[in-house]
């Protein structure tokens, strides 16, 4: 049985302001929780799971002897979960301690106003797939610890560094690295290959990249369009761009 206080504490972590105060966040579902447990960059405060889940995962969980476990009933999980259909396990984790970011010699993604949590999570997962270790986010991007972001990273959360900062300042500080931006009348993607060092700008889906930021780009690139859709989902566009450029 979870105490009322701890229930309230977990529920408060659904909101950014409390995650910031407590320096903690929640993750749900076996895949995501297990991936975070194996990460050396992240500390688990507590795992709350159903008896069935505990039995199924006993061996794996034993490896993390320092992690506090609590068996919960399904109705308790319903109360603390941020999902509409709660999973069998929920972990409370301390936020990741970020290392320094090294754009020199690497590919860095820069996100301007990606506000949909599902999109941000999916972009983190894509970055992890393509071996990109750092993402720079504008301050108005979705919070990386939003439960929906955590969910859609599918375990990639701790493998990609994220920094929230003023994009213009950050880009100006790194102006020795070529900056690519997606735009309507740019160079066809198929002409750019094998990049080892670059900054790639991804813009807000409905508004694109803001004018101030777009001005700082060195080259505009375009995903060739053969049909009638007006635009592509921001995460899909990111996947396509990275698959061609790297």
Interface residue list for a copy of itself (CB under 8 A) = 118, 122, 125-132, 152, 154-156, 159, 189, 223-233, 235-240, 243-244, 246
CA distance 210 to 147: 27
Residue number, 146 or 213, with CB nearest to a copy of itself: 146
Report in angstroms how near the CB of residue 60 gets to a copy of itself at its nearest: 16
Report in angstroms how near the CB of residue 94 gets to a copy of itself at its nearest: 21
List the beta bridge partners of residue 219: 180
- For 15-54, b where at least 16 C-beta lie within 10 A, e where not — what string? eeebbeeeebbbbbbbebbbbbbeeeebbbebbbbbeebb
CA distance 27 to 16: 14
Q: Which of 231, 211, 214, 203 is nearest to 140 (CA)?
A: 203
Report in angstroms how near the CB of residue 81 gets to a copy of itself at its nearest: 16
Residue number, 23 or 243, with CB nearest to a copy of itself: 243
Query: In the structure encoding, which two tokens stand for residue 91, read together?
Result: 């972990």
Residue number, 91 or 239, with CB nearest to a copy of itself: 239
Residue number, 30 or 57, with CB nearest to a copy of itself: 30
Report in angstroms how near the CB of residue 160 gets to a copy of itself at its nearest: 9
């Amino acid at each position: 049985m979870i105490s009322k206080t701890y229930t309230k504490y977990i529920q408060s972590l659904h909101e950014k302001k409390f995650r910031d105060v407590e320096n903690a966040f929640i993750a749900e579902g076996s895949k995501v929780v297990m991936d975070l447990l194996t990460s050396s960059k992240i500390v688990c405060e507590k795992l709350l799971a159903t008896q069935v889940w505990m039995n199924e995962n006993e061996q794996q969980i034993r490896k993390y002897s320092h992690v506090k476990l609590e068996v919960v009933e399904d109705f308790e999980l319903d109360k603390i979960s941020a999902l509409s259909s709660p999973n069998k396990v929920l972990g409370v984790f301390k936020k990741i301690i970020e290392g320094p970011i090294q754009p020199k010699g690497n590919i860095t993604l820069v996100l301007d106003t990606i506000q949909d949590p599902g999109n941000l999570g999916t972009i983190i997962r894509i970055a992890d797939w393509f071996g990109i270790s750092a993402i720079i986010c504008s301050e108005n991007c979705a919070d990386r610890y939003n439960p929906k972001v955590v969910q859609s990273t599918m375990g990639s959360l701790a493998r990609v560094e994220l920094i929230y900062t003023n994009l213009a300042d950050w880009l100006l500080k790194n102006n020795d690295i070529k900056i690519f931006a997606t735009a309507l009348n740019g160079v066809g993607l198929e002409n750019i290959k094998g990049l080892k060092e670059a900054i790639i700008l991804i813009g807000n889906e409905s508004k694109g990249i803001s004018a101030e930021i777009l001005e700082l780009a060195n080259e505009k690139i375009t995903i060739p369009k053969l049909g009638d859709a007006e635009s592509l989902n921001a995460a899909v566009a990111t996947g396509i761009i990275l698959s061609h450029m790297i």
